[in-house]
Amino acid sequence: MKKPLGVAVVVIGLAAAASLNSIGVASAGQQPVPAMVISTPVASVAVPAPPAIKDSDPSLTFRQNGRIVTITRRSTPVATVTLTSATWSAHSATAVLTVTATRPIIVDPAMFTLYDAEGWENEAEQSKPVRFGAGTAALTLTFTGTPARPEALGWVAKPDGDAVAVWERG
């Protein structure tokens, strides 16, 4: 004899409901299963560095205190340039400058002048501008073949022709 179809559906429905009610209920001896964590890669966002500012920019201010020149732009520090060492001879000189930048800066070696005892203004052998990123790096300037004894190193970064720094032979 066949059972009526309606009774079978009710029995199956009750079994399914009982099964759904027990989901998530753990007995006292069971440990919960931790949820699965799916990690999604996060794209890193690079913050672009500000553009490099040229040492000839008219908005820069230079202040020299002994061997150190502090460069600011609208009262915000840009860099310090320190005469780390200078080697002087009868007709040449080598200067090592340490540049500590808080933002990228371009320093033009052609704007450094070696003044000699006869009044000559001598150019550095390096002539290409150097870009310094944030951090500390060195710039070496070499002057050879000066007509007279070197007396001072000057930095004429501004287009108006005035020196922003002068380091005298000691």
What ranges do the domains of the chain cover? 53-168
**Which residue pairs, CB below 8 angstroms and at least 24 apart, start in 16-25?**
none
Top-level CATH class of 53-168?
Answer: mainly beta
113, 80, 121: which is closest to 95 by C-alpha?
113
Helix (H, G, I), strand (E, B) or coil at 78: strand
Higher pLDDT: 21 or 98? It is 98
Beta bridge partners of 170: none
Place 3 in a pLDDT band, splitting at 50, 70 and 90. very low
Torsion of CA 12, 14, 20, 23, to 10 degrees: -110
pLDDT score, position 31: 59
CB atoms within 10 A of CB 65: 9
Q: Does 152 have pLDDT greater than 80?
A: yes
